[in-house]
Amino acid sequence: MRNKKIHSPIHILVVSPYFLPTIGGSQRYIEELYVHLIRQYPHVYVDVIAYNTENALPRETHRGLTIHRIACIELMKGQFAIPNIFALWGILIRMSQKHIAFVHTHIRFFDATWWVWIYAKLIGAKSIFTEQVAAHPIHANPFIRWIAKIIDLTIARFSIGHYDLVTTTNSAAKTFLQHTLGIKTPITVSYGGVDTRFFSPIKTRTVPHLSKKLPKKSAVVTFASRLIQSKGITYLIKTLKHMHLPANVHVFIAGDGPLASWTQKEINTTPTMKRVHFLGALNYQEMKTLLKATDIFIHPSHHNEGFPNVILEALASKCFVIATDNAGTKEMIHHGKTGYLIRQKSIKGIQEALIYALSHKKERKTIAIQARMDMKKQFDWNIVSTSFYILVQQFCVFESSTYVSASPSFTP
């Protein structure tokens, strides 16, 4: 006879105002963290409350997560939404009947941060807050920036201080919470991750939306991000305009956003950019394919970054990554060893980094191999989700289990 360990079910509630089908760094973090956690711990069940900003299905099961979407009013597209209070109360009452172990929310700019800790106390659960951003909000409108900063220093600071567990996805965000917002609650860094099995190191020359394969000896440079000014697309375009790229170099720009039309127009009307290709928005599988074809990945962002998923994905795909020294980026890249860090808003920095990468093929391959190894050892989602599970065990009582006798197996 063998004893089989049976764990009691653990119910977790995640509140993420923006979630699938909306795709962004914070949403991807929540999705991948819990998808990999429930794969490793089948006794864990996860419900996600999201605001229905995209008119999607009110209820959906996705990769093992049960998503509940409630009606809302979106005040700022992709940035801030207010839920229908009656619909929110209804779903919260139903969730309270599941004996929730803990309620988890993230990003202090979202309204959920301000009330999730209260709800958790009311239903006898623990509360967890996760921050990714290491700066005050960035917005083109100075009045909105001012309002956001006031909220940061008042209601956000007050609310975060009442959570049972506070985590950040990078050390820069932890420093910001402690030194700028003055959060006294102990803070633990729980890094973001990447699926190193999905993002393959095997290189190809097949590019999504391109009719033919590139020559084997071509060098592929890729930019993939939201096409907004703070992600650095304007600096990259200005750099490419004044660079004389070798004949074997092809540059691919992937993404969507307010600057998509401007980007495509600049590429089409500039004679020196004949081998710069605009791909538009790519899905997850297409992004994997593009990174498999990429030799050099560039991320010249001056955005209020956290722990950028796309950089993790590029590193896992064995790309030589050039990125700005921005927030959590320098925690995943060691300059000259696993990537190349440059100054923000620097055309000269982008140019020098590209020239180095293109003229030092052997060195860039060695660096890319080391980066891939680092991703597997430190940032694979299986490792990250296991560490997170162990961490929350210290705050939530769900270690209980029972043992039952298992019948011996035999071959007739």
The phi and psi torsions of 405 (rounded to 5 degrees) equal -75, 135
In-domain check, residue 214: no
Dihedral of the alpha carbons of 17, 18, 24, 30, in degrees to the nearest 10: 50
Co-location of 123 and 17 in the same domain: yes
- Which residues have a Cβ under 8 Å from the Cβ of 16 and sit 6 or more positions away? 26, 27, 30, 48, 49, 50, 105, 106, 110, 112
- HSE-CB at 12 with a 13 A cutoff on CA atoms is 26
Co-location of 109 and 238 in the same domain: no
Q: What residues form DSSP beta bridges with 60?
A: 67
Q: What is the span of the domain harbouring residue 11?
A: 2-193+380-405
pTM: 0.86
Residues 320/248, Cβ–Cβ less than 8 Å: no
What is the structure's pLDDT at 329?
92
- Is the dihedral angle over the CA atoms 277, 283, 286, 291 positive or is it negative? positive
CATH number at residue 292: 3.40.50.2000
Co-location of 23 and 170 in the same domain: yes
Co-location of 50 and 81 in the same domain: yes
In-domain check, residue 200: no
Co-location of 224 and 165 in the same domain: no
In-domain check, residue 36: yes
Co-location of 271 and 311 in the same domain: yes
Co-location of 223 and 338 in the same domain: yes
Dihedral of the alpha carbons of 138, 140, 143, 149, in degrees to the nearest 10: 0
> For residue 22, with 0-12 CB atoms within 10 Å meaning exposed, 13-18 middle and 19 or more buried, which class applies?
middle
Co-location of 169 and 21 in the same domain: yes
Considering its fold, how many domains does the chain have in total? 2
pLDDT in tens, the chain (412 residues): 444 555 788 999 999 999 999 877 888 899 999 999 999 999 999 999 999 999 999 999 999 999 999 999 998 877 789 999 999 999 999 999 999 999 999 989 899 999 999 999 999 999 999 999 888 877 778 888 898 899 899 999 999 999 999 999 999 999 999 999 999 999 999 999 999 999 989 999 999 998 888 988 899 999 999 899 999 999 999 999 989 899 999 999 999 989 999 999 999 998 888 899 999 999 989 999 999 999 999 999 998 788 899 999 999 999 999 999 988 898 999 999 999 999 999 999 999 999 999 999 999 999 999 999 999 999 999 999 999 999 998 877 654 443 333 333 222 2
In-domain check, residue 201: no
Co-location of 392 and 360 in the same domain: no
**DSSP state at residue 198:** T
Co-location of 46 and 176 in the same domain: yes
C-alpha separations of 102 from 94, 99, 117, 211, 231 in Å:
15, 9, 10, 49, 34
In-domain check, residue 316: yes
3-state secondary structure of 312: helix
